[in-house]
Amino acid sequence: MNDPFYLKEETKAHWQYAIKQARTDRERYFNWIKDEINIAVSLINKYDKIYILGGLGSKLISASPNLHNQFMEGYVGQDMEQEEKEKIVEDDEIEVILEYAINIASASPNSNAGITPTEENILEIKAQLSKIKMNIGFYEMSSEYPKDGTEFDHWLKVSVMEDAMHVRGDGYQSHISEIYEETFSFHNDFLQQFYGFNSSDIFNTIKRLDLLIASKIGNAFGGSLTHRRFLQWSDEKGKEAVTKEMISPGNHFMQQFVSDNLDLYDEGHPEGPSLLPLDYIEGYNRLFWVIPKTEKEKKIFNLLSHCFGDNSEFLKGKFGGFILGDSVSQTKPLIIIEDKFYCFSLSLPFRNIFNITANLLQTADSVYYEHSFKGNSFANSRDNYIERKTKSLFEKFLPEVEFYHSLKYNIEEDGLAKEPELDILGIGKRYNLHHRS
């Protein structure tokens, strides 16, 4: 077990001084942050945004664990210099920085398309966004206590905001898959009737984005995923059709494969799949280009996409450009550019899959969304499902306790009769359980 970690008195004094200074002139500090946001906006708008977001997206891939870069951590061989590039790059803020960059970039048109940034330009933007993120966090940390609030209230507010700004986690995909399926399967008939696809189609489409991007990475990991795509293509097209095209008009099966998967095609090397190093800036327009396989998948891509300029509200208002602002990317994580779909973050679509699907229900029919998906009037609504799922988990943790959910009781407040509801109540012989509605 690690020993407790305590801040040195000198460090505490520095923090206390910084917080005092930040509280002395809040308006000046706020305006400085806004100026820094404007600098970031100008830097991003200065270049073709495909390559800015691609540069940050490639850094997220480098910082994300997979079987290949985990294996490389213990690799010992003669080509160590090359293999160093294949190891995972520690970067605990790149996912948040990329999301922030997407939100800013999509707030205005891609006015400087064709102007490719250098690696130094991309790193400058990354550093600027990191500085803003840190100072927004410190601005909130140094704020005064809420009116009629306590030190705990302030700590709780700051903790929630800090988590939202800085913390991302991989999560357990099997757990997310299970909860997602159980939450939305009751609404599949509605989705199918309105959109022509269901929640399973949404899940599989979003999950496939990983394969479409990672299969273009120029290393052993990317090559193995390219091979997986080839096998899928071969099975779907059929051996007979492939052989027939090889005879006439004489297209080799690899040429057929890349012709049907243009994101793997490079006119300079048309004989087969062309993979891309993660530091090859000029290749980002192909690395993050994702092509739907079917008409159903294309429809989902369209509904999950926004254009540069669609997110203009993100930069408006007093807190415009602040990292926690609402953004269309939370429900539309893909960007469509000249009829091509791009996915710059491997994490953003899957992390927001619940919001994405709920938004599709709300867009289709707000009445259905409010009464059948939310609330308690429909037995299989999201809220009722969460109560049942929570109850089942408590029953596993405390098998000797009898649990009940959705219990109504009568009270009187200020002379008015009320009937609140208790979500879950547990009663056991060895437990004294207190509850508050």
**For residues 260 and 163, what is the distance between their CA atoms, to the nearest angstrom?**
43
Stretch 265-281: mean pLDDT, rounded? 92
Give yes or no for residue 1 having a pLDDT over 60.
no
Class of residue 435 by CB neighbours under 10 A (exposed 0-12, middle 13-18, buried 19+)? exposed
Least confident window among 19-23, 125-129, 203-207, 339-343: 19-23
Nearest one of 219, 37, 51 to 120, comparing CA atoms: 51
Please report the DSSP string for 309-375 in residue order. Answer: TTTGGGG-STTTT-TTS--GGGT--EEEETTEEE---SSHHHHTHHHHHHHHHHHH-HHHIIIIISS
Comparing 95 with 11, the larger pLDDT belongs to 95
Which of 35-49, 81-95, 110-124, 163-177 shows the lowest per-residue confidence on average (mean pLDDT)? 163-177
What the block records as the tokens of 219 is 């290393």
Express as a percent the part of the chain with pLDDT over 70.
Answer: 87
Given the DSSP bridges, would you call strands 421-427 and 416-418 parallel, antiparallel or unpaired? unpaired
Cα–Cα distance, 222 to 277 (Å, whole number): 10
What confidence score (pLDDT) does residue 434 get?
Answer: 47
Euclidean distance between CA atoms 202 and 184, whole angstroms: 11
CA 385 to chain centre: 24
pLDDT above 50 for 207: yes
Reported as a single tens digit per residue, the pLDDT across 278-334 is 999 999 999 999 999 999 999 999 999 999 999 999 999 999 999 988 999 999 999
Please state, in angstroms and rounded to a whole number, the distance separating the CA atoms of residues 22 and 7.
Answer: 20
Q: What is the largest CA-CA distance in the chain?
A: 88
Q: What are the extents of the domains in the chain? A: 9-219+275-373, 382-427
Instruction: Give, as one character, the DSSP assignment of residue 276.
Output: B
Give the percent of the chain with pLDDT over 90.
Answer: 59
Residues 6 or more apart whose CB falls under 8 angstroms from that of 279 comprise 58, 85, 119
Helix and strand totals (H; E) in the chain = 20, 8
AA identity, residue 421:
E
Question: In residues, how long is the chain?
Answer: 437
pLDDT at 151 over 70: no
Which burial class, exposed, middle or buried, applies to 254 when counting CB atoms under 10 A from its CB (0-12, 13-18, 19+)? middle
Tens of pLDDT, residues 320-362: 999 988 999 999 999 999 999 999 999 999 999 999 999 999 9
pLDDT at 71 over 60: yes
* Beta pairing partners, 407: 422
Q: Cα-flanking dihedrals φ and ψ of residue 144, to 5°?
A: -70, 165
Give the per-residue pLDDT at 279.
Answer: 95
Q: Kindly tell me if the per-residue pLDDT of 66 is higher than 80.
A: no
Question: What integer pLDDT is reported at residue 30 of this predicted model?
Answer: 92
Burial of 287 from C-beta contacts in 10 A (0-12 / 13-18 / 19+): buried
Give the Cα separation of 138 and 151 in Å (integer).
16
Amino acid sitting at position 249: P
